[in-house]
Amino acid sequence: MMHSDNLIAQAKAGDQNAQGKVVQLWYKRIYNFGYKFFQDHDMAMEVSQKTFISMCRNLTSLQENTRFKSWLYKIAVNYCREEARKRKVNRSLSFDVVWNREAEESPGWESSSSRFDSPERQYQHQELADVLQAALMEVNDEQREVVIMKEYEGLKFREIAEILNISENTAKSRMYYGLEALRKVLEKKNINKETIGYGL
């Protein structure tokens, strides 16, 4: 667990210090959830900001401190859906699609896991990650939510079901069909264990 129930209790009590610590602890997770959902830095930042502002304002309404994680992801998912709806209406092109500021300012080789890799390997790794991320964007929203929460956020199916307000079996079905869809997209792009000789 990333935090103790005590920290949540303090944050609930209005301790701004504790609230700040909670934000610091969870910001990366929520940002990455948003980023994988939209593949867009600005959108991920927007969702993260809104999620944590909402968290700080509504923390008192949290019934059980042990369910903080599900509760937080539920807020994030709702904001992701809201932003996705807005984006579908506006159909505007994010500036990051044209100029990936995030990639420019904070390139992939700075990430801790591959910091000591060779430049070529780093490049290949980044390229593969981009392809996978793009493939993930081709999966429909409902399945993508579950795939990200399960595969990258490590939530249990029970937690996912609680967050999305669906049954556990529905969450598992969405996961299954999401993975199948992803596999088909990657097959179409001819990306598999054999063609990728690195990063595995």
Partner 1 sequence: MAYKATEQDLMAYLYGELEGAEKEAIEKYLEENEEARTSLEKLKSLRLLMSNVKDKEVIAPPLFLGDAPKVRLLDTPYIRTVLSIAASLLIVMLVGKLVDIRAGWSGNELSISFGAPQMPIEVAPAVTTPSITQSNVQQMINEALAQNNATMQVNWEATQKKLDASINRNLDLNSAKIDQLLKESSAASQDQIREFVAGIQAENLKVVKSYFQMNSTEQKKYVEGLLVDFSKYLQQQRNDDLQVVQTQLKSLQQNTDLFKQETEQILTSIISTVGPGKPTGTRN
Q: Which CB sits closer to partner 1, 64 or 110?
A: 110
Q: Which is nearer to partner 1, 62 or 129 (CB)?
A: 129
CB of 129 to partner 1, least distance (A): 5
User: Rg for the chain (alpha carbons), in Å?
Assistant: 18
Q: Which is nearer to partner 1, 77 or 185 (CB)?
A: 185
Q: How far apart are CA 31 and CA 76, in angstroms?
A: 9
Q: Which of 23, 30, 39 is nearest to 138 (CA)?
A: 39
Residues 6+ apart with CB under 8 A from 40: 94, 96, 97
Closest CB to partner 1 among residues 46, 91: 46
User: Which residues are within 8 A (CB) of 43 and not within 5 positions of it... i.e. 6 or more apart?
Assistant: 34, 35, 83, 87, 94
Residue 108: CB minimum distance to partner 1, A: 8
CA nearest to 31, candidates 67, 70, 64, 79? 79
Largest CA distance in the chain: 54
Q: Which chain residues interact with partner 1 by CB under 8 A?
A: 20, 23-24, 27-28, 31-32, 35-36, 45, 48-49, 52-53, 56-57, 102, 106, 108, 110-114, 125, 128-129, 132-133, 136, 150-152, 156-157, 168-169, 172-173, 175-177, 179, 182-183, 186, 191-193, 196, 199-200
Q: How far is the CB of 89 from partner 1 (least distance, A)?
A: 23
CB of 88 vs partner 1, minimal distance in Å = 24
